[in-house]
Amino acid sequence: MVNEIRNDWTIEEIQNLYNTPLLELIYKAASIHRKYNDTAEVQVCTLLSIKTGGCSEDCSYCPQAARYNTGVNVQALMKKDEVLQHAQRAKDAGSTRFCMGAAWREVRDNRDFDRVLDMVKGVNELGMEVCCTLGMLTEDQAQKLADAGLYSYNHNLDTSSEYYGEIISTRTYDDRLKTLDNVRKAGVTVCCGGIIGLGETHEDRVKMLYTLSTQLVHPESVPINALVRVKGTPLENNPKVDIWDMVRMIATARILMPRAMVRLSAGRAEMSVAEQAFCFMAGANSIFTGEKLLTTPNPGFDEDKAMFELLGLKPRIAFKEDKVFAEEEANA
């Protein structure tokens, strides 16, 4: 098939791509996107915060860290039935992937984890791709999630290893990489990306893309978030992310990781349809829909449906990758 997927990118190569004149970069990314993917397809995913607020970590962007006064109410783990109702509603509105988030530093082997495993089973039975983002995981916990039917695990690197300490002090970059390794070993697909607008330099962004694109296996899903500036967090007064920075980041990620689902994640509530169209042109092929991300506002199902109609986009079916491989194997 077409060009080879590379895991040996150098910082210089990535820097050159990232600094390509904007329209040329978009053209390049759009061409790669067309070669590897159906550019009319965008995966529609929905997030649910199953355990909100009160987190012990100090991630300076996050409204759910207990130490910042952001007005987010602490809520205990949601009941399975309620979670499944949310998932069903998301499915009925056209979502094919359902991601459950918990404001935990790490998973603990307790009853709450058993309840999450049960939720994973339930959502899987609805025929949706199930994703979780629960903080750090051991190999054994990752395996338990896999056995329950987890399709993907979200765990972001957020920024470069050099800048990481400026944003979070309560865990290390290596902790993050270790969890990603545990997820891979359990055979669960990896969803891993970052945030722009944290005060990082262009070089930090290039370095984060370097870490992602030189993994032995690229993450299957790469969320690119624009910082949602939440009052009460240390980053509340950061400047708004420039849309062209977002486009540049998405385009570079698309060129480096041609087959990944590049997700236009947080920040869409502050973007026009025209701005989002540039992101899709540059290779984004997945979004979160529904009125809330985890705790902050996001475009709703109807609004996104109208955008898809306007731009001629269609939602991608669930488990498409698996179906394609199964067909290829059957034809071999």
* 119 near ligand SAM (CB under 6 A): no
111 catalytic? Reply is no
3-state secondary structure the chain: CCCCCCCCCCHHHHHHHHCCCHHHHHHHHHHHHHHHCCCCEEEEEEEEEEEECCECCCCCCCCCECCCCCCCCCECCCCHHHHHHHHHHHHHCCCCEEEEEECCCECCCCHHHHHHHHHHHHHHHCCCEEEEECCECCHHHHHHHHHHCCCEEECCCECCHHHHHHHCCCCCHHHHHHHHHHHHHCCCEEECCEEECCCCCHHHHHHHHHHHHCCCCCCCEEEEEECCCCCCCCCCCCCCCCHHHHHHHHHHHHHHCCCCEEEECCCHHHCCHHHHHHHHHCCCCEEECCCECCCCECCCHHHHHHHHHHHCCEECCCCHHHHHHHHHHHHC
Is residue 45 among the annotated active site residues? no
Q: Are 282 and 38 in contact (CB under 8 A)?
A: no
Picking from 262, 256, 258, 164, the residue whose alpha carbon sits closest to that of residue 213 is 256
227 binds, among ligand SF4, ligand SAM, ligand DTB, none (CB under 5 to 8 A by kind): ligand SAM
Are 279 and 250 contacting, i.e. CB atoms less than 8 angstroms apart? yes
Catalytic residue among 45, 97, 131, 279: 131
Residue 158 binding result from ligand DTB, ligand SAM, ligand SF4, none, given CB thresholds of 5 to 8 Å by partner type? ligand SAM
Task: Tell me whether residue 236 or residue 321 sits nearer to ligand SF4 (CB atom).
Answer: 236
Q: Check 205, 248, 254, 263 and give the catalytic one.
A: 263
Q: Is 263 a catalytic residue?
A: yes
Compute the residue count for the chain.
332
Near ligand SF4 by CB under 6 A: residue from 45, 130, 135, 315: 135
Among the listed ranges 111-119, 120-128, 155-163, 319-327, the one in contact with ligand SAM (CB under 6 A) is 155-163
Q: Which does 65 bind (CB under 5 to 8 A by kind): ligand DTB, ligand SAM, ligand SF4, none?
A: ligand SF4
52 binds ligand DTB, rule: CB under 6 A: no
**Out of 50, 59, 134, 251, the residue judged to bind ligand SF4 by CB under 6 A:** 59
- Comparison of 182 and 225: residue with beta carbon closer to ligand SAM: 225
Nearer to ligand SF4, 103 or 243 (CB): 103
Active site annotation includes 132: no
* Among ligand DTB, ligand SF4, ligand SAM, none, residue 295 binds (CB under 5-8 Å by kind): ligand DTB
64/285 with CB nearer ligand SF4: 64
Residue 294 within binding range of ligand SAM, rule CB under 6 A: yes
Q: Which is nearer to ligand SF4, 121 or 178 (CB)?
A: 178
Q: Which residues are part of the catalytic machinery? A: 55, 59, 62, 99, 131, 191, 263
Residues that bind ligand SF4 (CB under 6 A): 55, 57, 59, 62, 64-65, 103, 105, 135
What does the binding site for ligand SAM look like in residue numbers (CB under 6 A)?
A: 61-62, 64, 101, 103-104, 133, 135, 155-156, 158, 195, 225, 227-228, 230, 266, 294
